Every structure is written in C-alpha cells, then in structure tokens.
Amino acid sequence: MAEEEELDEDDDDAATQNAEAALSRQSEIDVKGGWKIGDPVPYAVLTKTFSLIEATTKRIEKTSLLTTFFLLVIQRSAKGDTKSLLQSVYLCINRLSPDYVGVELGIGESLLIKAISESTGRSLATVKAELKKEGDLGLVAMNSKNSQKTLFKPKALTVPFVFSNLREIALSTGHSSQAKKVSIITKLLAACQDFEAKYIVRSLEGKLRIGNAERTVLVALAHAAALAEKEAAGKRWSKEKLTSRLEEAANTMKAVYSELPTYDLVIPALLEDGVNGLRERCRLTPGVPLKPMLAKPTKAIGEVLDRFENKRFTCEYKYDGERAQVHKLEDGTVGVFSRNSEDMSKKYPDLVEQLPHCIKASTKSFVLDAEAVAIDKTTGKLMPFQELSKRKRKDVKVEDIQVRVCLFAFDLLYLNGEPLLQKPLSERRELLREHFQIVTGEFDFAKSSDSETTEEIQTFLEESVKDGCEGLMVKMLDSDASYYEPSRRSVNWLKLKKDYLAGVGDSLDLVVVGGYYGKGKRTNVYGAFLLACFDAESEEYQTICKIGTGFSEEMLQTHWDTLRPLEISKARGDVKVGGAKPDIWFEPKIVWEVLTADLSLSPIYTAAQGLVEERGISLRFPRFIRVRDDKSADDATGPEQIAEMYERQALAQSSKGGKKGKGGDNNDEFW
Ligand SMILES: Nc1ncnc2c1ncn2[C@@H]1O[C@H](COP(=O)(O)OP(=O)(O)OP(=O)(O)O)[C@@H](O)[C@H]1O
Ligand SMILES: [Mg+2]
Ligand SMILES: [Mg+2]
C-alpha cells in the first residue's frame, strides 16, 4: 500500500496510450457480445488470440497479445476464481499440469486422423491425402470442419471444458483407452468453430506451434497482473512509472518461477497477493523441482584460468551419470527428479531406500543437487552412464537391481526450511558437508580440489578421467557470482571434458527427424538419419546434418525398432526442413548425443540460420555416441549454442599460430 503516485501531467497522454496498447486489442479477441464476469472463458477467445500470435513473428506483439488475453481473463473472473487464469495459462503453453506431475499429451497421428474422419464424415483416405498436402493436421481438421455443412450451431466450447477433456484424454490408459480417446476427441471436434479445431488438434499432438515460448507467457502474465491491479485501483501512472512497473513485474515473475516452477502455486499467489507479494509467498519449496543450473563448455584449462582470473574457484569431478535433484520434505516424503523435473522415484527405488543413511539427525528438509552414477556392486568402481540407462524408467524392483547407484552430491539448495540459492557456493558446500554423511557405495560428496595452477588442474583432470569421470566442472566459489542460478547455462560453471582435449568440442544432443533407407546389407533398417536442433524461441526443429556413421548392425536394428512406430508421411509443420530430403520422416521425439569434428556453414540445413549468417550451420563428420533418454526433444541443443560453437571454432582457427588459448565470448579484441 501507500504507493506514491508520481503522475507527471505532461506525460499523461503517453502513459494512457501505453496502458491502452495492451487494452486496445481486447475487442479484437473478445467474442461477439463479450463474455460476462464470472462466465467461463470462451475457448474461441483463446484460439482467436492464438491465431493472431501465430500470424506475427514479432516477439513484442506476441507478448502484448497474450497480455491482452490474460488481462481479459483476470478482469472477467469472479472474485476468488484463480482457476480460469490457471487453465488459460496451461492451454497457452500446452500443458495440463506442472512438469513434475507429468500429465502429457502427444496423441499419435493415426488416432487423430481417425477422430477427424469420424467427426467430419470425411474418409480416412481423404484426410490422409490432405495431410500429405498441408503437413499440418490442425489445419486439415479446421478445413474439414469448415467445409462441413452443419444444421445448427453447436454449444460454444469453454476453456474449462476443453481443459478437463484434454486431461481426461491424457490420463486414460489401459485396454479400452484408444476407443475412449477417439470418442472424446470426436466429441470435442464436433463442437469446434472457426480456429478451434486447428488448435485442439495441435494441442493433442503436443505442440501448439505458435511460437509461445515460456518466457513470453511469464512476461505477459506479469504485465497483465500489474495492469489489472492498476486498472482496479483506478491509478494513473506516468509513462516512466508504467514502464518500470511492468519491467519490475516481469523480473519478479521470472525470478519467482525459476525458484518455484509451478503455476498451480504461482497463479493463485499472483491473484491473491499481487505481483508485490509474489517473492514473499513463492519460494523454493521441497517437493517442487526447480530447473537445474547448467554449465558452459570450455576448450582448455587456459580458458578456465582466463575466466576465473583472481577469483576463487573449485574443480569438481564431472561424474558421468544422470542428474538427480533429491528433495526431502518436513513430513519425511522423498522425491528424486531428473533434469527435466520428471519424477524418478520409480526408476531409483534403491536410491530412495538408501537415502535415510546419509542424512544426519539435524537435517529435516532439504533439496540436494547431485549426480546418480552406476557403480559396480562388488568393486565399487564407477561405471558409464549406459549402465544406468539400461534401467526401465518405471516399476523397478529393488531385488532385480544389478547395478548399484551411488549419489554424488555437489550442491545444497535448501536446508531445514531455508532456501540457499542466494548464498555463495563455499557456504552451500560447507552446509552440505555438515548435514550429510558419506556412506560407502551409496552416498558421497563430489570429489573436489580448490587448486589454482594449470599443472594442478591438469593433474586433477587426468585423475578424474582415470576414475571413470568425464572431466571436471569448474565453479566460482565466492560472491554473488557463485549463487545458484536455476535453469541458467551459466559462465560461473564451466565444464572441462576429456573430449575437448582432443580438440573436438562439446557434444550436441539432437533430435532424429528423418530416416534414409539402408543399402546393401542394411536394406531392412534405416542406414542414415536426419538430425535437428530445437529452437525453444520459435518452437521449431532446425535440420543440422545427416548421420550414417558410428552405428553397429545391432544398433541400427534397435534404432529401427524405436523409430519405426514414429514414422510419419510428411515432415511435421514445426520442422524447418531446408534442402534435406530423407526417405521418411519421424515424429520428433528421440534424442541422440552426437560428436562432430567440425561445424560449417551450409546451404542445405537450417540450424541457427540468421544467427551467424543467412546460411545455416551443419555438422561435418558427425558421430553417434548414445541415446539420451533423459532428454526430451525440447531439451535438445539450441541454435544459440550451435552458433556459439561455430564462432568459437572460427575464433580458434583464426588465432592459430597467433595468441593461443583465447576463446569464449570475449572476442571483441579480435575485430
Ligand atoms: N560436479 C558436478 N557438478 C555439476 N554437474 C555435474 C557434476 N558432475 C556431473 N555433473 C553432470 O554434468 C552435467 C552437465 O554437463 P553435460 O555436458 O553432461 O551436460 P548434458 O547433460 O549433456 O547437458 P548439456 O549438454 O545440455 O549441458 C550436469 O547436468 C550433471 O548431470
Ligand atoms: Mg552427463
Ligand atoms: Mg552435453
């Protein structure tokens, strides 16, 4: 309360105009006659917003359209109703629950074709033929609906109705689930008007393809809430004040969401306590996994020293296992989450069972950041990642387990009721060591060395590799530069892998989007594959290379078995194909880790187009390393990372023979 009103009369006009910008398009997306306060949100308003967002490539316009929509929802919700906004937000990001609850859509093409055919009376063949022409099942559904003559207007769809039906589809499993899904989809499609069929089908497929990155949604949500508060209070703000309020709101929202990534809690807090109350109410909470902090690759020890010059840093073993965020709640509940916030308790029942052994009595609740690593049951030696990924992801029984899993903890993010994110790593590490204890073969602290010279680091690196690790993680120890940065790929964490020493560079995680039939001995399998990176900003897959080496006969058979069910007749609309011509396309789903000798500009592939040059970037001599089943297609390497790798490589080449060891982002001095 008691906010100062800094109203500058001269700017009055501009201020009103600015606020009006978000309000001015309300009538454009509203339904005829509007919707009354307390009515359910009409699905037509949401899909009209989607269609306008899809029609523009400008990020600012996308954000402002979404702001307009959220503002309408807030203003027309009955007092105390937080569900309308919550469900609207979920539909905007095409999710039905927080990530860690894992209610997901991703209905296969054939099922959708069946439902479209049933609800529009067109034959399967017609629908398939049209899909081949359009490449977008959503569009096909919409066209099919619009060409259909209807005798009476169906009852208008609402957001809560669509949301609950999508949830029912996502949650139905078992024998008769296929028939049930088709029947719900058919019913939904029958009620669709205008754009609705297009977006319902895309939602069902699992991708909206309107370029609504999560960041856009967060900013729009913050802006809408701030504007709603201002409107409700009848305040008039100067342009400066409005701008700074909106910026502040967006920053708060982003910070809060990275600590507590669940709209289920953030949205009610936002509506009840307002933007200003968010930080207080929404803090890191055991049970809600946060997106892990990520590291930047480096090519040489020299680069590490350049970056951390005169700063205190630590080197830790980089274990080759799977990221595990371990939570313990005050009530004793334990949760293990993957880097994608998937609940891994089912995959690691042994970890859950072992956990109590390493917790000291003084430790009541916590969030640990750690790596789960496979170890040999008898020798206690570290084993490679593959040993762990052989495990089923669900229903693993403790008595069936062959490979043991040992947890190597490297960070403590929460302890006994207190978030620690904004404490220096040195302090977090101290607390970690104080509140947990080593249990041989079950729990240990990541091995570390705070050494500073090239020689010491080199020795530690070699030691780590000898002990079965991938290399080192080098981390800032003190000051705010060492705070934990959720979801950020930070320069305060550097990875130094043994691969880099051979000059190869970091590996990439790429999505398999196409296949080429084999020749000769390989005629019964795919002989080569088309790979793509994923641009989270535009939500599209960008092709990057064809890969055909590094596969054994046995592997090709396995790939055939996993990819065959994902075959589709045409590239999906969200695959930016360029000049690639595979024999067959796949649903983008499977992620492979790939090494490359070199990156080059390419007239054929579309990866990172426009970032370095008009042309895209492709991989030369790519080599398959392993399947990354801990990553989903959305977690594949992004175009910015690829552009960065390309630029670092160019830099390294141009400095050959000249000053050596310089690299990284600080390349200004070269030009
Ligand atoms: N001491 C450690 N500190 C932090 N991370 C560690 C440590 N030891 C092992 N790791 C693992 O290393 C990962 C980061 O490097 P890696 O190259 O393996 O990333 P990735 O899983 O391929 O993802 P990306 O390439 O997107 O960063 C972390 O996510 C974590 O799983
Ligand atoms: Mg790893
Ligand atoms: Mg990697």
Secondary structure of 238-257 in HEC code, one letter for each residue: CHHHHHHHHHHHHHHHHHHH
Helical pair 12-24 and 239-259, crossing angle rounded to 10 deg: 50
**pLDDT at site 22:** 67
**316 ligand 1 Cβ < 6 A:** yes
Residue with tokens 């602290």: 445
**295 ligand 1 Cβ < 6 A:** yes
**pLDDT at site 3:** 37
Tens-place pLDDT, residues 541-594: 999 999 997 798 999 999 999 999 999 888 887 899 999 999 999 999 999 999
Instruction: Give the mutation target among 290, 293, 294, 506 for probing the ligand 1 site: most ligand atoms within 8 A of CB.
Output: 294
Tokens at residue 547, please?
Answer: 């890969």
Parts of the chain with a pLDDT under 50? 1-18, 657-671
Nearest to 304 by CA among 546, 491, 165: 491
Which residue puts its alpha carbon closest to atom 23 of ligand 1? 294
Residue 13 exposed, middle or buried by CB count within 10 Å (0-12, 13-18, 19+): exposed
Tokens at residue 334, please?
Answer: 């334990």
Give distance in angstroms: CA of 494 to centre of ligand 1. 10
Return the half-sphere exposure (C-beta side, CA atoms, 13 A cut-off) of residue 656.
Answer: 7
Residue 372 exposed, middle or buried by CB count within 10 Å (0-12, 13-18, 19+): buried
Model confidence, pTM: 0.84
Catalytic residue selected from 48, 296, 318, 546: 318
**pLDDT at site 281:** 95
**pLDDT at site 459:** 94
**pLDDT at site 139:** 93
Give distance in angstroms: CA of 127 to centre of ligand 2. 43
Q: What share of the chain is helix, strand, coil (3-state, %, to 5)?
A: 45, 20, 40
Q: Do residues 648 and 663 lie in contact, with contact meaning Cβ atoms separated by under 8 Å?
A: yes
Pick the atom of ligand 1 nearest to 294's CA: 27
**318 ligand 1 Cβ < 6 A:** yes
Q: What is the dihedral of CA 85, 136, 101, 372, to 10 degrees?
A: -140
318 annotated active-site: yes
**294 ligand 1 Cβ < 6 A:** yes
Cα-based angle 613, 617, 620 (whole degrees, multiple of 5): 145
**409 ligand 1 Cβ < 6 A:** no
**pLDDT at site 163:** 98
Give distance in angstroms: CA of 666 to centre of ligand 1. 23
Pick the atom of ligand 1 nearest to 493's CA: 4
Tens-place pLDDT, residues 300-349: 888 889 999 889 999 999 999 999 999 999 999 999 999 989 999 888 89
Nearest to 194 by CA among 145, 134, 135, 151: 145
Which letter does DSSP use for residue 158 in this model? B
Nearest to 420 by CA among 286, 324, 264, 297: 286
Which letter does DSSP use for residue 330 in this model? T
Instruction: Give the mutation target among 315, 323, 449 for probing the ligand 1 site: most ligand atoms within 8 A of CB.
Output: 323
**180 ligand 1 Cβ < 6 A:** no
Which residue puts its alpha carbon closest to atom 2 of ligand 1? 318
Instruction: Give the mutation target among 298, 319, 432 for probing the ligand 1 site: most ligand atoms within 8 A of CB.
Output: 319
DSSP strand E in 376-501: where?
Answer: 404-415, 418-419, 443-445, 448-449, 471-476, 489-497
Pick the atom of ligand 1 nearest to 322's CA: 31
| Residues within 5 Å of ion ligand 3, judged at the Cβ atom | 507
**625 ligand 1 Cβ < 6 A:** no
Residue with tokens 């809060």: 256
**pLDDT at site 10:** 40
Pick the atom of ligand 1 nearest to 506's CA: 17
Tokens at residue 659, please?
Answer: 């000053």
**pLDDT at site 656:** 55
**pLDDT at site 444:** 97
**pLDDT at site 504:** 52
